[in-house]
Structure 1
């Protein structure tokens, strides 16, 4: 009986899959809608001043960041599904996770990219300062730690 309960408990991972897929889909839709609205506004109310272009570049970086987070959620969902529910599912290579370690490595790569994008957003917003330098160093340390952890 305990064995059946343990084997059946893998389907609890289905909650993670469903919720994470919904979060991913909502984030993709929200970000896509917001990006289209900003692009439409930019085209219809074109202001070639430096400040408007500067603000647009910050918005675009935010959209890229949100898309990467949505992709990370999608990778979590499909990886969890393959690892716990159906290991024989045919997935595109980018989503084909063969082990928990591969899933973690994919997430570390995405987290690194998200951190870099966040730093770029700050670098574009702020003038060079000690605070920006400290933030950049902190992000670099985290990424180096990620890389070191991946090698071991």
Structure 2
């Protein structure tokens, strides 16, 4: 059976299952390569990059709970990464006025500079890893994947 004919005769649920498996395989391959490159080139981790990226978007800082919600990880994971960033001089914690238990985490100037270098490499790596897609392909794929979240505009 040809792939086209097979798609026409099988339930849509099977087609969507194959799509999910392809997305998962592709995502895992790219994530694994990013993890390796961050480790080899910068002696850092993808989760550390993710925390720095989140903090870079909020220069006034984020509460630890906000950071963990944004990244969809546990408070414990975020706390450990922020602790290491703080020890390295890339982040700092400041008290939240009126809330003795809460702290804001934010990047220091050194952290912003380190993140800028990581972000530049990250973008270049993704450009390389997705080079099989031209601009039109990337735009169509982005739009189609947006339909899974009910998106109506290009984000």
| TM-score when normalising by structure 1 | 0.29
| TM-score when normalising by structure 2 | 0.29
